[in-house]
Chain A
């Protein structure tokens, strides 16, 4: 067990979780306190001792499922689950269907059900909310559709995709709702509640299928190898430019607490900076209580001027999600700045400050930008040169010495003119000019990227691929 635990801990460290030696020892002590056969208790024990942030729970769960996955299918071997299956098969089931639920499907030795039977049974199990039967059917579906080949070095998603393609989960949801509607008249509220209920159950089915595929992969390849192939980045380390839809959703969820934390932290930083110049008047007045001897010098509380922020963001396809996240974050902490103005461009440029000012939630505003901003000038491919010179023409005079200019983009200019002179001019006018580039540093200057040409006119060009880097930058800024 201790060896398994060490492997597990090093896997967690590999995925980026900060697990200290003390925590490792705590985990070892914790597992001695719980019954070994109780997998849920083991999970909560390890979770409580090793994972100290809810953002890391996902990564922990993935690793846990791989390292401590049950080696035998839960339905076989006469475990509690197995007995539950027998008793829970629907009373009025057809003769064929009882077979599907009871015996271990993992062995693959049962008489195969037809695709239609499986679908019908699944539909019924979902409607009745029979979790045990759903799990058994999930195993069956994996048997039937995933056609897993031992030793083949593909990830679980490949098999998952194959299984789900056959099951058609969206179609299942429709069928379930259709079935309900045909039985009774539903009000809108009831229909919505039912849909949500079925969505939860279908999500359970999906998880059951994932678990089954994972279990078989572990048996086939061993935990460490598999853990390596399913390892995912922590939300704050995901590369924003290449995040898939799921990762973007996770990022979005992290963004809200992050911006709240940032705002609190920055607010405190501002209030607690105490080193100001001597306040002569206050010192003398205070000295009256000590007979005119200035025992305790008084200082002025510094009130650092809040910077005014100009955000100029490229929202063309390749970097759009990065621009959205940054705008969201900047606006979420906009109380830390005296004013935030935002401009978005592709090859044309438009001001979108008003979109944010009228929205209560920066997240919503960010969604509206793409629809409302007029950013296409000729062909809708990034043209930094034109966008920058337009900016200079229309708003250039408004950039004052209190302003900090942030430019977001990968500087991939499609071989247009760079317009770097605008930046030069901005740098003269503004307090700072920063460029945030979501591309990895090694790609800078390759192909049509002309970030180096702009860099000479910026106070700094910062690589900002992940939320973590973005957070660091914003903390410095305010």
Chain B
């Protein structure tokens, strides 16, 4: 709750439509919900927890917001076994050792200790980096669901107070509150404490119009007609019960493939030949071919 006061007068975005337009300017097609949440995150100074199926542009959202706001993107990729020395900070003990050995004059231990636990010997990791830096930053904590439940607690202080406590140095407060995005593929339930501190955004597969726009924006040289066809076929595929529905990333790959092949308008045979770009399981491909492409469907 302290965040918003610390940062008043530092807002990036004027209104929700402005966010939308800004994101479109960097080729990210947002819907009302996405734009609304980004706007609120900026206004309230709260982190955003982005959840949704893989390949729907969760990470890209953070990148695009950074690009739009002209901020630096600092990324913390989460993995099992991530700990504070990788996420927050670490003491550069080699340098500390050197310092102690290089010490010739008989300085008191107390002075020496003051010296080696100073910022010069601190290795900043992404979270601390995001807080200490002077320029505007967007902090992306990617795939937060991969760390253990206990490690999540590391983030809580950063996310709610925008500060890091270092026992030897004291508390480092953010000079400027970063925008924070956390992404999750939903492989486990995140802790209540974490969710409570974040705004929640569920990014699902886009609807037809938005997917068409995305394809047209991000695939060079695609005709309007082909983009429309691609989006419609993908939508129909998602209504089938597949092991893995095609993601937006796969839609884009498919559209690019079609453009490279010089396809103007998709027919069943072409679709069948390129379906493996879109679907990654043999059963899914067979099923899609049967349901969508065979004559008796």
- List chain A positions with a Cβ less than 8 A from chain B: 18, 20, 22-23, 25-26, 29-30, 33-35, 38, 40-41, 43-45, 47-49, 51-54, 57, 187-189, 191-193, 196-197, 200, 257, 260-261, 264-265, 268, 272, 360-361, 363
Contact = CB atoms under 8 A, between A and B. Distances in A.
B202 interface: yes
Contacts of A52: 49, 195-196, 198, 200
Interface in B66-122: 80
Nearest to A19: B196
Contacts of B261: none
Given A41-B36, A51-B200, A200-B208, 19 more contacts: A30-B43, A30-B44, A33-B39, A33-B43, A38-B16, A40-B32, A45-B40, A48-B199, A54-B51, A189-B292, A192-B236, A193-B232, A196-B236, A257-B186, A260-B187, A261-B186, A261-B188, A360-B283, A361-B243
Contacts of A191: 297
B243 A44 contact: no
A363 B242 CA distance: 11
Interface residues of B, number: 53
A41 B187 contact: no
A472 B198 CA distance: 27
Given A193-B236, A197-B232, A47 B200 contact: yes
Contacts of A260: 187
Contacts of A33: 39-40, 43-44
A26 B229 CA distance: 42
Contacts of A41: 16, 32, 36
A48 B202 CA distance: 9
Contacts of A197: 208, 232
Contact of B202 (A43, A54, A360): A54
A188 B40 contact: no
A196 B195 contact: no
Interface string B167-205: 000000000000000000011110010011011111010
Nearest to A257: B186
Contacts of A23: 196
Contact of B36 (A48, A261, A360): A48
A48 B148 contact: no
A325 B164 CA distance: 46
Interface in B227-272: 229, 232-233, 235-236, 239, 241, 243, 266-268, 271
A54 B43 CA distance: 23
A38 B243 CA distance: 38
B267 A189 contact: yes
Contact of B148 (A35, A53, A200, A268): A268
A105 B195 CA distance: 44
A196 B236 CA distance: 6
Contact of B293 (A18, A34, A51, A189): A189
A191 to B, nearest CB: 8
B60 interface: no
Contact of B243 (A20, A196, A261, A360): A360
B187 A18 contact: no
B233 A48 contact: no
Given A18-B192, A20-B196, A23-B196, A30 B40 contact: yes
Contacts of A192: 236, 291-292, 297
A45 B36 contact: yes
A29 B44 contact: yes
A22 B160 CA distance: 12
A48 B201 contact: yes
B296 interface: yes
A189 B268 contact: yes
Given A33-B40, A44-B32, A261 B200 contact: no
Contacts of A57: 202
B276 to A, nearest CB: 17
A47 B33 contact: yes
Given A33-B40, A41-B32, A188 B189 contact: no
Interface string B263-297: 00011100100000000000100000001111111
15 contacts: A22-B196, A34-B16, A35-B15, A41-B32, A43-B33, A44-B36, A53-B195, A54-B52, A188-B268, A192-B236, A257-B186, A261-B189, A264-B187, A268-B148, A363-B241
Contacts of B293: 188-189
A265 B187 CA distance: 9
A26 B100 CA distance: 50
Contacts of B271: 189
Nearest to B295: A188
A197 B233 CA distance: 10
A43 B229 CA distance: 31
